[in-house]
Amino acid sequence: MRADRLVATLLLMQSRGRVTAGELAQELEVSVATARRDLEALSAAGVPVYPQPGRGGGWQLVGGARTDLSGLSAREAQALFLLGGPAAATTPEVKSALRKLMGALPGTFRAGAEAAAEAVFVDQAGWGERPKERPPMVELLRDAVIARRKVRLTYAGRERSERLVDPWGLVDKDDVWYLVAGTAKGRRTFRADRIVAAVPTEEAADRPSDLELARVWEEVVEEVEKRRSLLSADVVLDRRYFGVLRDRFGRHCELVAELPGDRVRARVAAPAPVMIAQELAGWGTLVEVEGPMSVRAELARLGAELVARYAG
């Protein structure tokens, strides 16, 4: 669920005491199915909301209507700030709301909530194929980040290795999860789906006091992109579709020029011509690839294969 809807849902439940999915849908201008999924997602995340069936029923916070969130447990507060905290991909308004909610928490919970808010960063630009499901290690690693405890990892990289790390934060990069951690040799990044085993220890983790996960991840991305040989292609399309194209290519899409007829020229990039062609093939004639010829050739090959398979 979107973090702004999460905050709005909680505040609405606090003010009214009990709401139905229909009332929530009308208030937030979403479908009833979406409102119900949001309520179920809150409950699954550990926030104390529960349904009351029957006439006059609905959803409400445990403890009834309140003017603050002081009824949350430490674990529940962490879940809330993980879903919509400062490190997540959310709006300034939501971050402002969460700062106010932070002030309503008991002092003993604030440290955990603040740690949870900084534990996860979302990067929507992918680096390749997504995994089929979230690696089972994510929750364990997230808890270690929040608790600030060292973790002993068994990692299957080019060679299997074991090491003791200081977990700094987790990054969700287009559904591929990474652990950013401090090691004896400096900062390292580990793909969660390649972590064979992770055992939290009782030893306090060493985490830089001025660490900003978003800034650190930007440095990681820059280092990786320098090592990746990216091929660029210039494409022309209607301005109204540029936002969709940018969503598909993420940071590897830039506006190059404004063209007559409300058209634009954009530049997209990927490690190989076939990867650009595969991404653009579904656009049909909505996108015109000006070059390079290697991408145009891959598009022609894909088109010929489709015609051979499906014509007639």
Phi, psi of 165 (to 5 degrees): -125, 160
Residue ranges of E strands in the chain = 49-52, 58-61, 120-123, 149-156, 160-173, 176-183, 186-191, 195-204, 231-238, 253-259, 263-270, 288-291
Residue 57 near residue 51, CB atoms below 8 Å: yes
| pLDDT winner (highest mean) among 23-32, 131-140, 198-207 | 198-207
Distance CA 261, CA 84 (A): 40
231-310 has which fold? Alpha-Beta Plaits (3.30.70)
Domain with CATH 2.30.30.100 in the chain: 123-227
Distances from the Cα of 300 to the Cα of 40, 249, 288, angstroms: 46, 21, 12
Instruction: Give the pLDDT band of residue 295 (cuts 50, 70, 90).
Output: very high
Over residues 89-99, the pLDDT tens digits come to 454 545 555 55
Q: Are 168 and 145 in contact (CB under 8 A)?
A: yes
Distance CA(79)–CA(97), nearest Å, equals 16
Which CATH architecture best describes the domain 3-104? Orthogonal Bundle (1.10)
Query: pLDDT by residue (tens digit) across 185-244?
Result: 888 988 888 888 889 899 998 888 888 888 888 888 877 776 665 788 999 999 999 988
Average pLDDT over residues 150-161: 86
The yes or no reply on domain 123-227 and CATH 3.40.30.120 is no
**For the whole model, what pTM was predicted?**
0.46
Closest C-alpha to 102, from 28, 208, 167, 7:
7
How are beta strands 120-123 and 160-173 bridged, if at all?
Answer: parallel
The answer for residues whose C-beta is within 8 angstroms of residue 247's C-beta and 6 or more apart is 124
Where does CATH 3.30.70 sit in the chain?
Answer: 231-310
Report pLDDT for 238.
93
Distance in angstroms (rounded) separating the CA atoms of residues 267 and 276 = 11
Rounded to whole angstroms, the Cα distance separating 248 from 44 reads 29
Strand partners, 149: 204
Omega prior to 48 cis, within 30 of 0: no
Question: What tens digit of pLDDT does each residue of 232-243 get?
Answer: 899 999 999 998
